[in-house]
Chains A and B, each alone.
Chain A
């Protein structure tokens, strides 16, 4: 990854041009040809540095509901429990953390009732209780990561 890659990464995390030839526009901003922008982004994607270029949606504004959930799971069962949780496509993040509550995951569902149903099912399938920590207020929501 060189300086040009960095400048591409810093310019495509938000404000990706919604135009017919977005890579040409990015190239014009960065002093690169359209082909070079595409091939560099392809390489960054092949290296799994870029996960995807896509719309990031606001679930609440689309009528859905989301929350952060923590569970307390014995260490020898975390893989199994993480597998049960990850099977739901509505689970977007899931981490093992060092605390009494050690499995932390976020769920974004199309409705509050679907969200409640998923949590109930996970509790039933795993046998572990959870704490539900919905957002009350957002102070900052990272849109960009300087590379």
Chain B
């Protein structure tokens, strides 16, 4: 990742223009060739520095209104197996193990999306049954204060 990569990612983070040759337009504002833009993006994608290239969808606008952060307190020695089971659920978009903190012991996090809160609760119940870990909480999002992409400064 060099300075040109950084400039390119910064330039593109708010989205490509919706024109026939979007990468040519990005290239011209950077003063480089369209081919160079495409090659750099492909390399950053191959290196995993770009996770994916594509559209971000507003879930709420397509009827996927409920967003539940489901957390379980999974014994450390069971984390591997449990994480794989949870990741296998289609309704789960993200699944992470996180550090425990002070008065927070729930270390397994899964984001569950659904059309209703009830739908999310049903998924959380199925997961809980599948993993056999019952120390669980569901934290629905009551308000979205902010949602932007991860940005480069």
Spell out A's residues near B (CB within 8 Å).
1, 9, 12-16, 18-24, 34, 38, 41-42, 45, 47-59, 61-63, 66, 68, 70, 82, 85-86, 89-99, 101, 103-105, 108, 110, 131-143, 145, 147
**Given the complex of chains A and B, what is the CA–CA distance between A47 and B60 in angstroms?**
12
- Are the C-beta atoms of A95 and B137 separated by less than 8 Å? no
Instruction: Report A-chain residues with C-beta under 8 Å of the C-beta of B21.
Output: 20-21
List 29 contacting pairs A-B, 8 Å CB cutoff, sorted by A: A13-B52, A14-B54, A15-B54, A16-B54, A18-B53, A48-B61, A50-B55, A51-B149, A52-B14, A53-B16, A54-B56, A55-B53, A57-B150, A62-B1, A82-B146, A92-B150, A95-B67, A95-B145, A97-B140, A98-B139, A98-B142, A99-B137, A105-B145, A131-B102, A136-B98, A139-B87, A142-B94, A145-B64, A147-B62
Asked if A18 contacts B18 (CB within 8 A), the reply is: no
Does chain A have a CB within 8 A of B24? Answer: yes
Among the listed A56, A96, A139, which residue makes an inter-chain contact with B54, where contact means beta carbons less than 8 Å apart?
Answer: A56
Q: For the complex formed, measure the closest distance between the CB of B9 and the CB atoms of chain A, giving whole angstroms.
A: 6
- Checking A51, A86, A143 against B145 with a beta-carbon cut-off of 8 angstroms, the contacting residue is A86
Among A62, A97, A104, A134, point to the contact of B49 (Cβ < 8 A). A62
Residues of B within 8 A of A142 (CB): 92-94, 111
Q: Verify A139–B95 contact, CB threshold 8 A.
A: yes
Q: Kindly state the separation between the CA atoms of A120 and B95 in the bound complex, as whole angstroms.
A: 27
Report whether over half of chain B's contact residues are helix, strand or loop; otherwise say mixed.
mixed
- Could you say which residues of chain B place their CB within 8 Å of the CB of A132? 99, 101
Per-position binary interface string of chain B over residues 109-123, scored 1 when its CB falls under 8 Å from any chain A CB and 0 otherwise: 111010000000000
A18 touches which one: B14, B19, B38 (CB < 8 A)? B38
